[in-house]
Amino acid sequence: MLRWLLIGPFVLVIVLFALSNSAPVALRLWPFDLAWQVPLSLAVLIIAGVFFLLGAIIAWLASLPARGRARDLRGQVQTLEMELARYRAEAETERQRDVNGASRALRPVA
């Protein structure tokens, strides 16, 4: 529901922009003699989409070092958790040995 509350107004603005700017424009690529007739709204939205994707790619590439560090730290956490479990098992074994030893020491000898 929250997604539609955020996306809905944005889509409405895009639709209104497209309906308001339907005049054709010629897109040309210099030095080639190519021209493409498109509505102004489509030209603007295509350019905006291309630069949005370019920004997303740049942000993804910038996050790669942090993702690598997170992966390394995840491995360290797993190693430390295994070591902690081993120490807890050793401590439990020692506690059981102490309890058994203390109960034997308190028994009367027959």
pLDDT level of residue 11 (50, 70, 90 thresholds): confident
* 30 falls within a domain: yes
* 3 falls within a domain: no
* 43 falls within a domain: yes
Instruction: Give residue 33's domain range.
Output: 9-103
pLDDT of residue 15: 87
* 19 falls within a domain: yes
Residue corresponding to tokens 């498109």: 38
How is 64-99 classified by DSSP, letter by letter?
HHHHHHHHHHHHHHHHHHHHHHHHHHHHHHHHHHHH
* 93 falls within a domain: yes
* 34 falls within a domain: yes
* 1 falls within a domain: no
> To the nearest whole number, what is the mean pLDDT of the chain?
88
What is the domain count for the chain? 1
* 83 falls within a domain: yes
pLDDT digit string, tens, across residues 73-108: 999 999 999 999 999 999 999 988 887 776 665 566
